[in-house]
Structure 1
């Protein structure tokens, strides 16, 4: 029990250290508007949630240049309405359309790429509590926690498996759930087979803060965030076991 507490304290310390000393490069409202969305009609669900950290603009018409009615904050719930077929746009490696929605009684349009079928995690929530929140919304979510094996550093891992989640949807959930630097944007699915993307800035106490992106034929295989400091480390790995599931595994360890 004492070791588990020390592990959690170490992980929390380095997360706070990174958040305080790594200035985050939040997406602007204009950038949020031009990021596309996952299809917002799966399983007849009408309630969706804003993934954009800086908020998502609600527009009067279905163009990115129409009058802005409001900025919908991160985590806000919106009601999605049926729409006729529209051209798909792609910005920041995410595809979507201008989606008709209602937010706080206002009807308008927003880019669907920053809408998630899952409620977004709030700062400081535990993985177990977040999973309980998802299940309370009738989401079929699998959760597993286990200690690290004898061949690895002392620590533990927690795994969430989400049905029908998109790569970028899983990335933004993990980024906010595990307080990952916002300066590390969702990586391009297309590119070289293996790419390391370092956080633009990090405190001198931090040895490693980066993304390791693995691809095959311009399609994502894994997205791994790695954080390492003196005495401990943590991170997460995102994979797709099959076309209908996305798995997020968080790991924490001490030397």
Structure 2
């Protein structure tokens, strides 16, 4: 009888010992799984943050002012001038001012905060463009090709017509999302509109003509013709008429963007 009791007590002790050994293992496995779950959750959070950071892209714009753009200490045109930023410079925009609070040379805009040569300051954003400006003597086809590498929706076409003795050549460049002054500055460079013709006022008389500074003759003249309606500009057209060729460069706003077109008619 005593032997049976001793055996039972021994068996109970063994089972208790086993249970005590197994219980911490179950707890440990549970804690380990909790840690894993927390790490997975943190990984998902980091992934979401990373995806959000990828969506925030740095904005870069180009200087279109021919003589350079002033970098100023504060967001007004009278503050200290820190530097002159050359034409064509690519700038990192830190803060964009969407409100058109001022006007410079008939162009409306605000002051953007930018980085330039490890300096931060403010520039008039009417002379900034997402389209990099053309270099000197750059042909329209070559400029359009470079633009399309960055902006696939830009289009350029060239067509020949007329007759063998009086050929007509037409070039058309479409710039989605561009403003009037952006298109005008580009047209000046690639289609040889003299710099003496400044960007005109966007409001005013329905039609205006600004003649070139050079003296007209019987065989040569040029002029900038401006058309407006109640909403502003409708068309800008530069006309050049010489002894052997008549050339017009027109700028209009379309649903697809700003359209720049040059027509050369040989006489």
Question: Matches of 1:219 and 1:226 in 2, distance apart?
Answer: 21
Aligned to 2:200: 187
**Which segments of 5 or more consecutive residues in structure 1 lack a partner in the other structure?**
1-42
Counterparts of residues 1-255 of structure 1 (less than 5 Å): 46-83=59-96, 88-149=101-162, 153-202=166-215, 207-242=220-255, 245-255=257-267
Question: Matches of 1:164 and 1:135 in 2, distance apart?
Answer: 14
CA contact (8 A) 1:234 1:253 kept: yes
CA contact (8 A) 1:157 1:249 kept: yes
The number of equivalent residue pairs is 211
CA contact (8 A) 2:111 2:123 kept: yes
Question: Matches of 2:89 and 2:134 in 1, distance apart?
Answer: 11
**Which segments of 5 or more consecutive residues in structure 2 lack a partner in the other structure?**
1-55
Deviations 1:47-87 (A, max 9, x none): 11111111111112212122212111111111111246766
Taking CA–CA contacts closer than 8 Å with sequence separation of 6 or more, which of the two structures ends up with the larger relative contact order? 1
CA contact (8 A) 1:123 1:179 kept: no
CA contact (8 A) 2:174 2:258 kept: yes
SS of corresponding position for 1:148: strand
CA shift in 2, pair 1:205/1:108, >3 Å: farther
CA shift in 2, pair 1:231/1:149, >3 Å: closer
SS of corresponding position for 2:202: coil
**Which structure's CA Rg is the greater one?**
2
SS of corresponding position for 1:181: coil
Alpha-carbon deviation of 1:104? Answer: 2.6
Question: Matches of 2:102 and 2:184 in 1, distance apart?
Answer: 20
Q: Could you tell me the TM-score, scaled by structure 2's length?
A: 0.73
SS of corresponding position for 1:74: coil
Aligned to 2:45: none
Q: Which has the higher helix share?
A: 2
CA contact (8 A) 2:97 2:111 kept: no
Alpha-carbon deviation of 1:156? Answer: 0.4
CA shift in 2, pair 1:174/1:84, >3 Å: closer
CA shift in 2, pair 1:102/1:156, >3 Å: same
Deviations 1:112-142 (A, max 9, x none): 0000110001111111110111112235201
